[in-house]
Amino acid sequence: MAKRAALRAPQAYRIANGQAGYKKVGLVHIIKWGRKRTEDRSKPGMIKMRRQGNDREREARGQPAVTGRQDASEKRLRVEVATLVALMALFGFLSIQSPEGQQWRARVRHLWQERERARAFQQALTNDPPIGTPLERLGLPSLPFVPSRSLPLLVVVFGGCEGCGAQRLKEWAEVLGGWGTWRKHLRSVLVVQDKEGKVREVVARNGWKVTVIADEDGKIGRTLNAFFTPRAYGFEGGKLVWVQKEAGMGVAKVLESFLGRIKGEGEAKGLLNAWAAEMREKAWGKMAVAQPKRGDQR
């Protein structure tokens, strides 16, 4: 090793160690040699070659390769990522505490609640009686509307005679019992989940001409799976043919959907137009009914 190092050293180094046969070299040459050697060692290629050589020597001796610089880079990357995550968490916390953040949280909570309600609603629909189920199998043969099966039957279940559902009950009773169009082409029954005495009193006080029955124990509502009210069910020939699948449907929309199912879309719209003409005639007389016909001819 000493001989190899001596061969690599310049003349001045060899002279200084007492090796004869070489001329004396000045200090300037020694400085230049040292500077050049430093520059060569600082080059990326030389550094990589020297590191690889050291790794091979350590592997030959059975020692793991030194990766201190790589470990330092990985640690620095971990620290930077952790700092970024902490700053983002702090920013999110401060944003949520602001008025805009509170509104955003309320909006997200509302969307989540809507999604849960929709999921529960779809789950409840799976308990509906299957289409084609006879009235007798639904436990409804003793009701007054069962013997007459010549006309389609619409059964609407309500929650009670009082409260927020009272206005809807009144609307349905006046539409189905107060207009000749529906009395002629449709039989309808309103099922009210309330005491029989109270139901009779409400019907007598309002003078409704539609069949209204009381469901005190809620058996009819449970059999039909009326988990929201009002909910309508359509029968034809004594069998279930249509069930309301959406909450909040109005009278006109329910009638259009049910009649479109059993009579077709065209005839259903014709009956709705006849109902509209009957309402116009009652409100403004026969001239108001004839007015649109002349306009259609033009």
What does pTM read for this prediction?
0.62
**pLDDT for residue 41:** 53
Tokens of residue 132, six digits: 């084609």
| Judgement on whether residues 160 and 285 belong to the same structural domain of the protein | yes
| Judgement on whether residues 196 and 278 belong to the same structural domain of the protein | yes
Tell me which residue of 252, 175, 246 sits closest to 210, measured CA to CA: 175
| Judgement on whether residues 85 and 198 belong to the same structural domain of the protein | no
pLDDT-derived band of residue 274, with 50, 70 and 90 as boundaries? very high
Average pLDDT rounded to a whole number, residues 30-34 = 64
| Judgement on whether residues 47 and 83 belong to the same structural domain of the protein | no
pLDDT-derived band of residue 141, with 50, 70 and 90 as boundaries? low
d(CA 220, CA 144): 14
DSSP H or E segment with residue 157: strand 153-158
User: Would 64 be classed as within a structural domain?
Assistant: no
| Judgement on whether residues 193 and 103 belong to the same structural domain of the protein | no
User: Would 136 be classed as within a structural domain?
Assistant: no
| Judgement on whether residues 181 and 286 belong to the same structural domain of the protein | yes
Give the CA distances from residue 33 to residues 2, 42, 50, 147, in Å, rounded to whole numbers and listed in that order: 19, 14, 19, 119
Average pLDDT rounded to a whole number, residues 242-263 = 93
| Judgement on whether residues 25 and 101 belong to the same structural domain of the protein | no
What percentage of the chain reaches a pLDDT higher than 70? 65
Which stretch of 18-22, 133-137, 196-200, 265-269 has the lowest confidence by average pLDDT? 18-22
Number of Cβ within 10 Å of residue 262's Cβ equals 15
Alpha carbons within 13 angstroms on the beta-carbon side of residue 296 total: 5
User: Would 142 be classed as within a structural domain?
Assistant: no
User: Would 43 be classed as within a structural domain?
Assistant: yes
Q: Which domain range does residue 278 map to?
A: 153-297
Q: How many distinct structural domains can be found in the chain?
A: 3
Amino acid at 214: A
| Judgement on whether residues 247 and 291 belong to the same structural domain of the protein | yes
Average pLDDT rounded to a whole number, residues 277-283 = 87
Condensed to tens digits (0 to 9), the pLDDT of residues 207-243 reads 999 999 998 888 889 999 999 999 999 999 889 999 9
Condensed to tens digits (0 to 9), the pLDDT of residues 145-177 reads 544 567 899 999 998 777 767 889 999 999 999
**pLDDT for residue 87:** 84
| Judgement on whether residues 198 and 241 belong to the same structural domain of the protein | yes
**76 or 290, higher pLDDT:** 76
User: Would 170 be classed as within a structural domain?
Assistant: yes
Condensed to tens digits (0 to 9), the pLDDT of residues 57-101 reads 666 666 555 555 556 777 888 888 888 888 888 777 777 677 776
| Judgement on whether residues 230 and 288 belong to the same structural domain of the protein | yes
| Judgement on whether residues 246 and 164 belong to the same structural domain of the protein | yes
| Judgement on whether residues 237 and 116 belong to the same structural domain of the protein | no
Q: Where are the alpha helices (DSSP H) in 134-264?
A: 165-178, 180-185, 196-206, 219-224, 251-263
d(CA 170, CA 172): 6
Tokens of residue 270, six digits: 């014709």
d(CA 221, CA 28): 109
**Is residue 95 a contact partner of residue 101, using CB atoms and an 8 Å limit?**
yes
d(CA 133, CA 246): 20
Tell me which residue of 228, 234, 258, 225 sits closest to 246, measured CA to CA: 228
